[in-house]
Amino acid sequence: MRKFFFAMCWMVAGLLAGVGMSELVLSALPVIDGHVRSEDTKRWPLINYRPGTEYTYSRGWDFQTTQHGTVNNYGHLAPFDFVPGTPVVLVLGDSYIESKMNRYADTLQAQLAERYGGAVAVYGLGASGLSLADYLRLVEMASKTFDVVGVVIAMIDGDIQESMAVRAGWARFVRDANGSWALRYVATSRPQDSRLLSWLKGRALYRYLRRNLGVTPGQFSDLFDERAPEDSAELVRPASVSPEVLEASDYFLDHFAASAGVPPSCVAFVRDGERLSLYGVTTPRSVIDSPALVRHFTAEARERGYSVALLDDAFARFYATNKARLDYWPFDRHWNRHGHGVAAAEAFHALLGCRELAALRFGEKHAAQ
C-alpha cells in the first residue's frame, strides 16, 4: 500500500511539474490573449473589444500569423484612435475586416486609406460573425458618431443567410406584428467569470488549449461557460433560397444608404471571390449564400444605385500575373495582404462615382453643404 501511495505521489508530482513547465514555456510564446468583447453591449459592434487592452493573436499549435497590438478607443484593431465627427469612409465586415491575422498596414482599410492619400480618413469596423443585419445596425450607430462620406462593405459567404439566424448577441431581420420587416437586436450580458475561470484565463496553457488548439468539447464549454474562439459562419448551415431571405435582403438595401446618411453611389459592396480553384484545389466546398441568392442581391443592389464589385475576376487576374496566394490556405481562408490589396483596389474604383468623396479628394467644398 505504501509503495502504491508513493507511486501515486510521484505521478502527481510529475504531472504538476509537466504542467508547470508547459506554463513557463507557453508564457514566453505568442499564445492568443486579449480580444475581450466590450461590456458596452448596446453599442456593440461599434465598440467591439474592450478599449485600450493589449492583444496577441496567433493560429494553431505553431503560432502562425502572429500579431500584437493595442485595441483602440472604439475597440477595434487599429494603431490609432477614431475621432468623432471626422469625415470618413467606413469599411464594414466580419472577421475579414477585423483582420486579426494581418498587420494593420496590410488590411483593406489601410490600403484604401493609402489610395486616398490622407484626403479622407478610413475606419475599419469589423467583428467576427457579423451579417447584413449587423451592418445595418452598425452603420446606424456609426453615422451618428462620424461624418460618413462613403461606405465599403466586405461581403463574405453567409452574410445574407445569417441575417435571418437567431444568434444571441447579434442582430437579425424579423417580421413585426404588422408583417413588415424590422431589425432586431437583443443585447446579451454574460455572467461575471468565476474565480476559477478568471484564474484559468490568466494561464497561457489554458489559452493555448482553448484558443490556439480549439479544444472545445461540450463538457469543457459547459463547465467554463466561455464562447468558442471564432464565432463564424459555421454556426449556420447552407439553406435553400426562401422568399423571406430575398425580402429581408431587399429590406436591407432599401434602408442601408439612408441609415449611413449617404447616397447609394457612395456605398460599395465588395463580394469575396473564389480562390481555391486558382490554387488547383478541386474539393467541393459547400456555400451558405447560394449563387441564386448572390445574383439576386447583386442585381437589386445595382438597381438601387449601389456599386457592387465581385472579386472573382480580380482575384483570378492577380493570381495569373503574380502566382501569389490571396489568403493563408490551407490553414486559414482569410485574406492576406494580397487579398486585401485586391479588395482595396476594387473598392476604390467602385467609389469613383461618389461625388462627395470626390469633392474631398480634390479639395473642393464639402458636397453636402
Q: Which residues pair with 172 in a beta bridge?
A: 184
Q: Is residue 51 part of a domain?
A: no
Q: Is residue 263 part of a domain?
A: yes
- pLDDT number for residue 215: 83
Instruction: Give this prediction's pTM.
Output: 0.87
Q: Is residue 168 part of a domain?
A: yes
| Residue 17 binned pLDDT confidence (cut-offs 50, 70, 90) | low
| DSSP H or E run through 91 | strand 87-93
Radius of gyration of the chain (CA): 23
The strand pair at 121-126 and 87-93 is best described as parallel
CA atoms of 268 and 350, how far apart (whole Å): 6
Q: Is residue 26 part of a domain?
A: no
Cα separation values, 219 from 71, 225, 227, Å: 32, 10, 13
Range(s) of the domain holding residue 91: 79-190+228-361
Enter the DSSP assignment of 144: T
Q: Is residue 223 part of a domain?
A: no
Q: Is the pLDDT of residue 229 over 50?
A: no
- pLDDT number for residue 45: 96
Q: Is residue 356 part of a domain?
A: yes
Could you give phi then psi for residue 56, rounded to 5 degrees?
-130, 135
Q: Indicate the average pLDDT of the chain.
A: 86
Q: How many domains does the chain have?
A: 1
| Residue 231 binned pLDDT confidence (cut-offs 50, 70, 90) | very low
CATH number at residue 117: 3.40.50.1110
Q: Is residue 42 part of a domain?
A: no
| Grid coordinates given for 280 | 488547383
Q: Is the pLDDT of residue 224 over 60?
A: no
Give pLDDT tens digits for 213-222.
878 655 344 3
- pLDDT number for residue 26: 62
Please calculate the CA angle 359-360-365 and round it to the nearest 5 degrees.
65
Among 310, 347, 343, 309, which Cα is nearest to 326's? Answer: 343
Burial class of residue 45 (count of CB atoms within 10 Å of its CB; 0-12, 13-18, 19+)? buried
Q: Is residue 37 part of a domain?
A: no
